[in-house]
């Protein structure tokens, strides 16, 4: 069991390591986590955000200020008192005419978010880094693994793309935690290929889907990432087969897992762990794997049974007793906006808040909600998180809906979330809804589009009843959570 304490999380004596950083768009889930990480590395950190005054973001900004981040409007005022940060950290979403770029002192170095992440991870001296990736589920599993390690007294660090409820205390956002134990859990992002900028000690690859890139390109990214891991790779069997077993050098510990009880016990000489059973009873999901006793899952859905198996597999590679690891896995406290049951409507329908924003994530979320409503209906209210992502997923979503929606289920579009900046403003949600309705197999009335949340809420009040579920899905916009809560009778 590897729970030896370490305090070697520091920037060190690297002359290239920035002593002061300014984060443009610091309220974002990834940027806010990085800002907290660099504070713990001994840096001076400032940040700006154009949503600084928005009430739905109050919690993250309060947590950042409590941690020590100095916040500014995104208008260049951060430099007004002569401040010149060593670097400006930005993401791909920040445009060249941003005031924090235009007003920056001449010669101020810029650092992309992925480069800053690489620097931060490089400064984690003495920590065993476990990087979790995959097209779907990486935020949930990163949080789940860190939560379990903490329950096993491992005192882990974590940098995740969601707010881990166990670590979301007063003054702490929950998407970053220093920890003093040996292990540091990282959510590794494939969307900008930043996971290729650093080398983890262990890699966990959950799946390969169709988000951001073609499957072939994603498979290549995950292959390069897995090959780079220093000591351990835990990977879904199907992903391993798609990447190509022959691409892995001998000598590295590779442990595979599968949700197929009939999968082989080994593949290319690597052991395959199996999901033995999965069932739903009395509103809860249950599963067993690796010949261990059955556990009640903290989250429904067969995909979460596989996630539990993946977390357990990593824990055993770290030396934890399988029975103790199983207990820790079953006690997961959850992560905000990942199948978050926020209450029930006045008419008795469950309301579920979820970050799902691509076809695979939406499908997993809908199926989990359907398991909880065997005699009822599921209405999925989806707010696309940008025009380009909606355009990318348009055809795949239209083709997926006929096989997803049961009799009486609905899929409802809200207008596309626009966060500012340059956009094509096409396609609209109305246009995509119309193309979905034209697909063979879609029942009349099962796909809708509403111009406002108020109109949508009125529709839900009329249609969603006891035994039904309402899933509010979409990324980036924190106000979605507030609206989902407003639909409940405890709002």
Q: Are residues 142 and 243 in the same domain?
A: yes
| Co-location of 459 and 315 in the same domain | no
CA nearest to 147, candidates 127, 132, 126: 132
CATH number of the domain encompassing residue 391: 3.90.190.20
The secondary element (H helix, E strand) that includes residue 411 is: strand 410-413
Backbone angles phi, psi at 359, to 5 degrees: -60, -45
Residue 2 falls inside a structural domain: no
Question: Residue 229 in contact with residue 258, Cβ under 8 Å?
Answer: no
Residues 326 and 377 in one domain: no
Q: Are residues 240 and 145 in the same domain?
A: yes
Place 171 in a pLDDT band, splitting at 50, 70 and 90.
confident
Q: 253 with 373, same domain?
A: no
Q: What is the mean pLDDT of the chain?
A: 92
Q: What was the pLDDT predicted at 210? A: 65
CATH for 83: 3.40.50.720
Q: Hey, what are 346's tokens?
A: 């006045």
Same domain assignment for residues 61 and 135: no
The mean per-residue pLDDT over the stretch 122-132 comes to 93
Over residues 419-469, the pLDDT tens digits come to 777 678 999 999 999 999 999 999 999 999 999 999 999 999 999 999 999
Domain assignment present for residue 193? The answer is: yes
* Spatial CA neighbour of 117 closest among 30, 54, 230, 191: 30
Query: Which pLDDT belongs to residue 230?
Result: 93
What is the structure's pLDDT at 2? 43
At 364 the pLDDT is 92
Beta strands in 239-269 (DSSP E): 253-258, 266-267
Q: Which residues of 397-434 are buried (b: 16+ CB within 10 A; e: fewer)?
A: bbebbeebbeeebbbbbbebbeeeeeeeeebbbeebbe
Per the structure, the count of domains in the chain is 3
Range of the domain at 135: 124-330
């Amino acid at each position: 069991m590897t729970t030896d304490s370490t305090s070697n999380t520091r920037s060190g004596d690297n002359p290239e390591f920035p002593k002061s950083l300014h984060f443009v768009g610091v309220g974002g889930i990834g940027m806010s986590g990085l800002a907290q990480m660099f504070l713990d590395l001994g840096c001076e950190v400032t940040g700006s955000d154009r949503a600084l005054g928005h009430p739905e973001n109050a919690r993250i900004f309060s947590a950042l200020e409590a941690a020590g981040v100095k916040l500014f409007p995104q208008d260049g005022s951060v430099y007004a008192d002569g401040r010149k940060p060593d670097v400006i950290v930005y993401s791909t979403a920040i445009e060249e005419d941003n005031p924090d770029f235009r007003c920056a002192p001449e010669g101020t170095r810029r650092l992309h978010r992925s480069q800053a992440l690489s620097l931060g991870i490089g400064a984690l001296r003495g920590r065993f880094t476990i990087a979790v990736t995959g097209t779907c589920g990486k935020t949930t599993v990163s949080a789940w693994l860190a939560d379990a390690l903490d329950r096993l007294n491992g005192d882990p660090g974590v940098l995740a793309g969601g707010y881990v409820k166990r670590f979301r205390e007063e003054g702490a956002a929950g998407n970053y935690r220093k920890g003093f134990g040996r292990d540091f859990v990282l959510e590794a992002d494939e969307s900008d290929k930043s996971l290729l900028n650093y080398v983890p000690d262990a890699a966990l690859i959950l799946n390969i889907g169709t988000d951001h890139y073609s499957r072939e390109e994603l498979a290549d990214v995950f292959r390069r990432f897995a090959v780079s891991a220093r000591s351990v790779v835990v990977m879904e069997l199907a992903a391993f087969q798609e990447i190509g077993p022959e691409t892995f050098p001998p000598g590295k510990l590779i442990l595979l897992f599968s949700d197929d009880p009939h999968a082989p016990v080994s593949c290319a000489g690597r052991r395959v762990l199996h999901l033995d059973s999965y069932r739903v009873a009395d509103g809860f999901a249950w599963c067993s794997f690796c010949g261990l006793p059955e556990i009640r899952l903290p989250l429904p859905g067969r995909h979460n049974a596989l996630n539990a198996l993946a977390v357990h597999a990593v824990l055993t590679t770290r030396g934890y007793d399988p029975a103790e690891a199983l207990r820790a896995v079953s006690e997961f406290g959850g992560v905000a906006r990942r199948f978050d049951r926020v209450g029930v409507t006045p008419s008795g329908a469950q309301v579920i808040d979820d970050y799902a924003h691509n076809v695979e994530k939406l499908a997993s979320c809908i199926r989990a909600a359907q398991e909880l409503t065997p005699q009822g209906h599921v209405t999925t209210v989806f707010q696309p998180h940008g025009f380009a992502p909606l355009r990318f997923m348009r055809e795949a979503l239209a083709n997926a809906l006929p096989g997803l929606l049961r009799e009486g289920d609905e899929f409802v579009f809200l207008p596309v979330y626009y966060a500012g900046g340059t956009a094509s403003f096409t396609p609209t949600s109305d246009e995509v809804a119309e193309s979905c309705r034209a697909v063979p197999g879609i029942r009349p009335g099962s796909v809708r589009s509403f111009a406002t949340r108020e109109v949508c809420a009125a529709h839900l009040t009329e249609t969603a009843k006891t035994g039904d579920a309402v899933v509010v899905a979409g990324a980036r916009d924190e106000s979605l959570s507030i609206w989902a809560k407003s639909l409940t009778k405890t709002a």
